[in-house]
Amino acid sequence: MENKIATPSETKKILRKHNLNLKKSLGQNFLIDSNIIDIITAAADIKGDEFVIEIGPGIGSLTQALLAKLDSGKLLAVEKDAAMVEVLKDIFAGQEKLELLNEDALKISWEETAAKYNPQERKIKLIANLPYYVTTPIIMGVLESEIELEQMVFMVQKEVGERICAGPETKKFGSLSVAVQYHMQPEIVHQVPSSVFIPQPDVDSVIVSLSPYEENIYQEEVINKKFFFQVVKSIFQQRRKTLRNSLSKSAVIALDRDLVTKALEDEGIGLKKRGEKLSISEMISISNRIYKMRKNKQ
C-alpha cells in the first residue's frame, strides 16, 4: 500500500482535511519549505541503518524525508498531540519503518524508550523541530540521559541556538552554552527565516547540529558533576560580578569567601576577573579545586 505522504506545500490542505486547529499552547509551527527539510536531513547524515528519533513530527513533512533516507533502520516519532498522531497514522498507514509514540518528550525515560524500540542497539540519531518554550529542557533531558547519541540535529529559536554555540567572552555565553558543550560539540548549520513556517512565529530560527567529541575531556576532568554545575550556575546568575563575589555570594551553593579567594589565587585567576570570561576548562579546574578544598576542610 502506497503511503499518502504529504509534502510541505500541502500542509494547509491536510489541516483542513482533518479539521485541525494549531495549538499555540504546544508551539505548533509547521515547515512549508522542502529546502529546509533537505538541510536538516543532510545535517543528520543518515546512512540508512540507524535508529532515528524525531521529536514533534506534527503532520509528518520531516518524517517523510527521514523515512526516505532509511533502509534497514527505524524511525520513532514522538508526538504529544493525540490529534496529530491520528493524522500521522492516516498519512503513514502501512509504513513498517515508522513507530508512533503519543508521549510528552519532557516526561519520557529515554533509556527505557531506546531499550524498547531499539533492541538491536542501532546507532541513535535524534532530530527535532522543537517548540520554543520547551527547547532547553528537552535538549538537556536527552543529553543527560544514558543513551549514546551519534548525532543530534534540531531547529530552535535563533537566540537559543546562538546561546548554545556561544564561546567565552561573548554576551551569549552562559549556563546553557556550558551545559550543552559539556556533553557534545554544537554548530549552527543554517539560519531559518520565520517565513518557512505556518503560522509564522515572531522570531527566526536556526538549525543546530550536536556531534560527540572524539574525546570528551570535560566529562573526564570533572570530579563532581553536580557541584560543577552549581558553580557554573553561580557564575552566570551574577555574571557582572567578579568571580570571587559571584561564587562567595551564590544563592545556589554556600561557599566560604576565604576558601574561594584561596582557590582563585592557587589557580592563578585574578580576583577581579568575571566568571563569564572563563573557558569551560577553566571553570572545571576552579570547580575541582574548590570541591577538593571543601572536602578537605570537612
Per-residue pLDDT band for 20 (boundaries 50, 70, 90) equals low
Give yes or no for residue 196 having a pLDDT over 90. no
Q: How far apart are CA 180 and CA 140, in angstroms?
A: 7
> The CATH number of the domain where 282 resides is what?
1.10.8.100
pLDDT for residue 6 is more than 50:
no
Percent of the chain with pLDDT over 90: 64
- Give the pLDDT of residue 110: 96
- Tell the burial category of 297 from Cβ atoms under 10 Å away from its Cβ (0-12, 13-18, 19+): exposed
- Terminal-residue alpha carbon distance, the chain: 69
Looking at the structure, do residues 121 and 245 belong to the same domain, yes or no?
no
pLDDT tens string 54-108: 998 888 888 999 999 999 999 999 999 898 898 899 889 999 999 999 999 999 9
Q: Mean pLDDT in the chain?
A: 87
Average of per-residue pLDDT across 138-144 = 94
Out of 186, 214, 242, a domain closes at 214
Domain boundary at 151, 185, 214, which? Answer: 214
- pLDDT score, position 186: 97
Same domain, 189 and 54: yes
Spatial separation of the C-alpha atoms in residues 220 and 223, rounded to whole Å: 8
Place of cell 543528520: 44
- The domain tally of the chain equals 2
**What grid cell was written down for 250?**
551564590
Q: Check whether residue 35 and residue 171 sit in a common domain.
A: yes
**Calpha distance 280→275 (Å, rounded):** 10
Which residue range(s) make up the domain with 279? 220-297
Q: CATH number of the domain that 69 lies in?
A: 3.40.50.150
200/282 same-domain check: no
Q: For the stretch 259-283, what's the b/e string if a residue is b when 16 or more beta carbons lie within 10 angstroms of its beta carbon?
A: bbeebbeebebeeeebbbbbebebb
Quick one: 51 and 110 in the same domain?
Answer: yes
Q: What grid cell was written down for 22?
A: 494549531
Any domain includes 2:
no
